[in-house]
Amino acid sequence: MTSTTDNARQVLIYDPTLRDGHHAVRHQLEADRLRAYAAAADAAHIPLVEIGHGNGLGASSLQIGRARLSDDEMLSTVREALTRTKMGVFIVPGWGTSADLRNAASHGADLARIGAHCTEADVTERHLNLLRELGVEAQGVLLMSHMATPAQLAEQCALMASWGAQAVGIMDSAGHYLPADVTERISAITAAVDVPVIFHGHNNLGMAVANSVAAVTAGATVIDGCARGFGAGAGNTQLEVLVAVLERLGYRTGICFKSLLHAADIAQELLMPAPPTIDSVSLVSGLAGVFSGFKRPVLFTDLPGNLRVTHLGRLISCPGRVNRPRP
């Protein structure tokens, strides 16, 4: 791997393996597995690990999936395993509440991200203000960001920054972007705000690492990645590949690469049945701009008599062909 100089630009790596990865296993990770990965991430000097239900604090429910562990259990387990790495949480107003943020702060959360649909940043104002009162670093992220123009995203990010967000940015929730799309949006956001800019990629079109590099080149300084790409649908930006590519390009991450590979091995062994793949549904959802977390509902629906029907054909059509779900 190419060495970097002291003048190389720093990129902060944010690791949501223990939060976004929960989507892939229906939020059923056990405490010993959380602890093992958190300890490995800490040993690799990963700057921050995010923990929680896949949809964030307070989201465990019959509607979107019951987690095996409570928020309290997850927060306590990971906090105890971290000595140098910071602990982060994620919350979407409506699923989580101010009380959930207060609880996370009491468990030692160092940072909290407030997520909102890409045109609805106004729902983050109260939570961002609360985080500043609690002394917890506050970030704001826009979900399903491909559904808004670069100018709209820049405007929404500027609003979050004005309400106290110490970093703002976008999630490619559906894995829909190509590098040029990311460059255009991150450039618009960096021109509109004076705080660090975030990019979180998904890999539906196989572009997550390339998109993350495009984000860094355009000015983003906080980039997300999950071990082995562990995440919803086709998975997230693969953390160890991302770090290798950034270091190869001359950026500093501060992560011990050898220990990072060990952490990735632990993640593959303990957290996931198999590393994410870009299957047909993931690919089509990326093309269609559908959130990766909807993969299972899109793929199968239970009907009377336990008949299961795939809905893949409803997402994409072929010229001259009638697409009908097949039993």
What's the count of helices (H) and strands (E) in the chain, helices before strands? Answer: 13, 10
So what's the pLDDT on residue 289?
A: 92
Q: How far apart are CA 281 and CA 233, in angstroms?
A: 8
Counting Cβ atoms within 10 Å, is residue 6 exposed (0-12), middle (13-18) or buried (19+)? exposed
Residue 16: CB atoms within 10 Å = 26
Residues 6+ apart with CB under 8 A from 297: none
Beta bridge partners of 89: 112
So what's the pLDDT on residue 233?
A: 86
Catalytic residues: 23
Beta strands in 93-174 (DSSP E): 111-117, 137-143, 167-171
Residue 279: CB atoms within 10 Å = 14
Residues in the chain predicted with pLDDT less than 70, given as ranges, are: 1-7, 292-327
So what's the pLDDT on residue 183?
A: 98
Residues 6+ apart with CB under 8 A from 265: none
User: 10-53 pLDDT, tens per residue?
Assistant: 999 999 999 999 999 999 999 999 999 999 999 999 999 999 99
So what's the pLDDT on residue 63?
A: 87
Counting Cβ atoms within 10 Å, is residue 32 exposed (0-12), middle (13-18) or buried (19+)? exposed
User: 59-77 pLDDT, tens per residue?
Assistant: 999 988 999 999 999 999 9
Q: How far apart are CA 293 and CA 241, in angstroms?
A: 23
